[in-house]
Amino acid sequence: MPAHKKFTIEERVRWGDVDAARIIFYGAYIHFFEYAETELFREVGLHYGVMFDELKIWLPRVHLECDFHRAARLDDILEVSVWVARFGNKSMKLNFEVRRKGEDELVATAHFVLAAVNQMTFETVPIPAELREKLAPYTTSEDSK
């Protein structure tokens, strides 16, 4: 398998993302991860309108973990990277890394597990082949991080 790529977006820490000490509130990271995920799907031609309307699935999050390594502050520009760490039969795991723009040190790391479910019944279904194929350039196995 060729080396995977990380998809990266830039987001500024805004007033609504911070607490009184002007340090990013932990819940704001979820928005940044969601933005990166959304743009990754858009990059590979699977913006949510296509995925939900054509593939007839939802991808609810069934697990989320986040580790905070350093404080991000008001007006920091963050680079949020995402890639597929694993495809299961009916779920997928996305990994995230957050850094201040131009810096190597991690600010936060996270992963989400998304389950594929039928839109009508909400029963789990196999991940569509089209989703696997289009995300292949951004997919790695966890053993080869």
Q: pLDDT tens digits, residue range 58-113?
A: 999 999 999 999 999 999 999 999 999 999 999 999 999 999 999 999 999 999 99
DSSP structure class, residue 22: S
Residue 39 lies in a domain: yes
Domain assignment present for residue 111? The answer is yes
Do the domain assignments include residue 1? Answer: no
Establish if 133 belongs to a structural domain. Answer: yes
Percent of the chain clearing pLDDT 70 (strictly above):
94
Tell me how many domains the chain contains: 1
Instruction: Give me the domain span that covers residue 89.
Output: 7-144
Give me the CATH number covering residue 82.
3.10.129.10
| Dihedral (Cα; 36, 40, 46, 48), 10-degree rounding | 0
